[in-house]
């Protein structure tokens, strides 16, 4: 509930009922992923990392937090706890707003899966970047290139 003071500026507020649901979902996720969490939950860090995302609005806030929390715990396991919480959150946020355009399934099933495979195979380059700018190294999908698109348009205009 204390995070509301910060997230209010972004139009995001959790009710007491939301907080209770999130606490139960946390317990369920920890049990499902066979994890133990000492001290404070990861949820405040998730909230602070994602509250200013253009893809999270009041209407989907609670459900988005549940999904992000579940994804976080799943990939802490998938990455064999080799990555810090902050590095994972940084990577998640960058991909969520970037390559994923707010799509949780793409974040979980593609971006994080490819990164986890690399980490399990011994990749540690993310330690120097804090998790930033890593996805491009593992992305298998050809992306749209704005400059190339504009160049082709200019060429077509001259014909």
**Does residue 102 surpass a pLDDT of 80?**
yes
pLDDT of residue 6: 95
| Closest to 56 (Cα-Cα) out of 2, 4, 104, 108 | 104
Identify the DSSP state of 44.
H
Q: How many domains does the chain have?
A: 1
pLDDT of residue 143: 58
pLDDT digits (tens, 9 = 90+) for 41-52: 899 999 999 999
* Range of the structural domain that residue 65 is part of: 4-158
């Amino acid at each position: 509930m204390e995070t509301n003071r910060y997230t209010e500026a972004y139009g995001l507020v959790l009710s007491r009922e939301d907080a209770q649901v999130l606490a139960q979902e946390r317990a369920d996720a920890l049990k499902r992923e066979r994890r133990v969490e000492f001290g404070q939950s990861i949820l405040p860090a998730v909230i602070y990392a994602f509250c200013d995302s253009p893809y999270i609005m009041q209407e989907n806030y609670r459900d988005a937090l549940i999904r992000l929390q579940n994804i976080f715990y799943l990939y802490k396991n998938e990455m064999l706890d080799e990555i810090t919480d902050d590095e994972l959150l940084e990577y998640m946020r960058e991909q969520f707003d970037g390559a994923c355009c707010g799509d949780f399934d793409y974040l979980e099933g593609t971006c994080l899966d490819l990164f986890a495979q690399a980490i399990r195979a011994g990749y540690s380059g993310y330690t120097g970047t804090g998790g930033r700018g890593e996805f491009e190294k593992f992305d298998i999908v050809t992306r749209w290139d704005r400059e190339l698109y504009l160049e082709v348009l200019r060429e077509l205009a001259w014909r």
